[in-house]
């Protein structure tokens, strides 16, 4: 790896974000409105994903509960990452299989008026698809974060945000940027900014 190769990777990452700005801003605004409406009505935001997307789920839940910008403190916003309860995840997957680790939580913790964000760079993570399906069955609104292929996750989403890339790391980089801007927009829609 050379400095030139590193520059090339960062340039490709920036181009994905520019394309995301062009192609995903409307969907991101609609997702922000959906989340703000749910929170204003006493609902909560649930977020799930695997691997790097699990990290993104936790990161975004933290932004909602803590605050996006510590220079502008505000009351916490109800959000939970379904990726954090290792006892539940390991118990359920050991006894029943990995595909139900998120859907079980949605069925148990979710209520009509909540929102579920499912994150999957491929769009085909079975446990995320199952969670989206469970959410819709329970009257819970759904938002899919995926890559340009979309995938099965989009069949179960009220709003889809498909980053225009096939490269996992660039999709994930755009997902966290979208999550930040959605958090900021939700804050503003709720009168916190």
Return the SS3 of 50.
coil
Closest residue by Cα to residue 178 from 157, 155, 153, 147: 147
pLDDT band at 91 (very low <50, low <70, confident <90, very high): very high
Its pTM stands at: 0.96
The pLDDT tens digits of the residues spanning 20-54 come to 999 999 999 999 999 999 999 999 999 999 999 99
The pLDDT tens digits of the residues spanning 66-82 come to 999 888 889 999 999 99
How high is the mean pLDDT of the chain? 96
The CATH code belonging to domain 41-187 is 3.40.50.10490
pLDDT band at 193 (very low <50, low <70, confident <90, very high): low
| Integer CA distances (angstroms), 94 to 61, 72, 178, in order | 26, 43, 34
φ/ψ of residue 103, rounded to 5: -65, -35
| 84 vs 56: CA distance, rounded Å | 12
| 72 vs 53: CA distance, rounded Å | 27
């Amino acid at each position: 790896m050379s400095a030139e190769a590193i520059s090339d990777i960062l340039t490709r990452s920036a181009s994905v974000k520019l394309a995301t700005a062009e192609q995903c801003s409307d969907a991101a605004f609609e997702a922000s409105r959906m989340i703000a409406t749910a929170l204003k009505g006493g609902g909560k935001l649930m977020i799930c994903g695997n691997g790097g997307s699990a990290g993104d789920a936790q990161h975004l839940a933290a932004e909602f509960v803590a605050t996006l910008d510590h220079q502008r403190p505000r009351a916490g916003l109800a959000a939970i990452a379904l990726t954090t309860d290792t006892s539940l995840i390991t118990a359920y997957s050991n006894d029943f299989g990995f595909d139900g680790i998120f859907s079980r939580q949605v069925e148990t913790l979710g209520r009509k008026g909540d929102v579920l964000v499912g994150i999957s760079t491929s769009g085909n993570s079975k446990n995320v698809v199952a969670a989206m399906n469970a959410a819709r069955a329970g009257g819970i609104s759904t938002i899919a974060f995926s890559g340009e292929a979309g995938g099965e996750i989009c069949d179960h989403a009220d709003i889809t945000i498909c980053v225009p890339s096939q490269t996992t790391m660039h999709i994930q980089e755009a997902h966290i940027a979208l999550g930040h801007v959605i958090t900021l927009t939700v804050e503003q829609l709720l009168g916190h900014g």
